[in-house]
Structure 1
Amino acid sequence: MESLIPRGRSEIAPGAVHLPDWLDLDRQRELVTACREWAGSPAGMRSARLPSGGVMSVRTVCLGWHWYPYRYSRTVADGDGSPVTPFPDWLGDLGRQALADAYRRDAADYRPDVALVNFYDATARMGMHQDRDEHSREPVVSLSLGDTCVFRFGNTENRNRPWTDLQLCSGDLFVFGGPSRLAYHGVPRTLPGTGPDIGMTGGRLNITLRVSGMD
């Protein structure tokens, strides 16, 4: 849905940058098509089981490296052992452009090799957590598709306040690195029925690109 109030670039914390409407509708539709193909691969969408025995409400498919709590593998090690879906070169190009636009600098040296594609239905949530399973501390690039979500971006010390809540809409870019690379963050809720016409019947897709730092 189009906002009545113009949304501009903002730096939520040092190294954490929000660029609203970074992806146009055609690019969003292309990414939705790609996500649908990845989700249908042998190493497709699944809900990860936590060490506590709980099951995440978000469903995930991984590219390049398979993530499961709290490590990476080249196969779906917590499932049927299928090889992970390769990380496409064009997605790395998109990540470099995203980083360059967010940080207003050359990003030719940014080489993401892993992507987590998360699908949120109307009831899915993501608790406050750090993205710390990568060996590298290069920035994380996050792209939103579909329904708007409330994104909670916190501090680097714990899951408690202070934090900032902002809405991430379809097409938005959010990058966090530098002093904010290990900030706790999560998604307390989504807003059903807020997504544009990009080929989704509902829900939210979030694509996060990372540099694994692994061979």
Structure 2
Amino acid sequence: MIGVSWNPARIGKKAHKMETCFDKAKKAIFCRSPEESQKNYSEWSSTYDNSLSGTYVFGVLKSYETCGKYAKEVSSILDVGAGTGRLGGHLRNHHGYEGTLDILDANMDLLMQAEKKDLNIRNIIRHAITESGELPVQDESYDMITCIGAFLPNNIPATALPGIIKAVKRGGLIVVEMRKTTIDAYRAIFDANLQMLLDQSELRKVYEEDYIPYKNFDTSPIFTAFVFKRL
């Protein structure tokens, strides 16, 4: 979230709400440890959805639309780093997704917010992903894994992608959204692991698009939505 600036005169009443939202997000991401991050997410959990609504609403981000497009081809999805289930809600309510939906996150307080929603979630999984990326699910058990905005410092380790994709069936899809630029060391490690999977023909890239998710900002970070097929 660092590097975002806005013009309060242009966005009027939303300025304070945006400032509060970005402050909470930065505390949860750019902090001293994963433990501190989880503490900050827990403190944010009860107001999480409301603070995001009208600031950078995930429901209208390109990555959510990308997930919706590819969800039409699958019958089982695991949303990794699901938080309060916002993506699941978008898939159910805006794209008519009726298949199996499991969600996974490290923070129980965020997941409890997801549980309150009528999203027909099969499994709510509390799991903190480690550097290995191993997930507490059977290998090759999902048609698609989504990971939107969770590959971040103090959230999902940059080394985790090779482990995470084991949960996807051969021929299945992985949708990842992340900032195009983040802390240099983190992004370099992520890119190295991704390139290794591409070089070893474990993954094939089927889609990539850069976009700016924030409206009415003087400057905004660029995000990238990726879709990969597991080979």
State TM-score, norm by structure 1: 0.29
Query: Normalization by structure 2: what TM-score?
Result: 0.28
- Based on CA coordinates, which of the two structures has the bigger radius of gyration? 2
User: Relative to total residues, which structure has the larger helix share, 1 or 2?
Assistant: 2
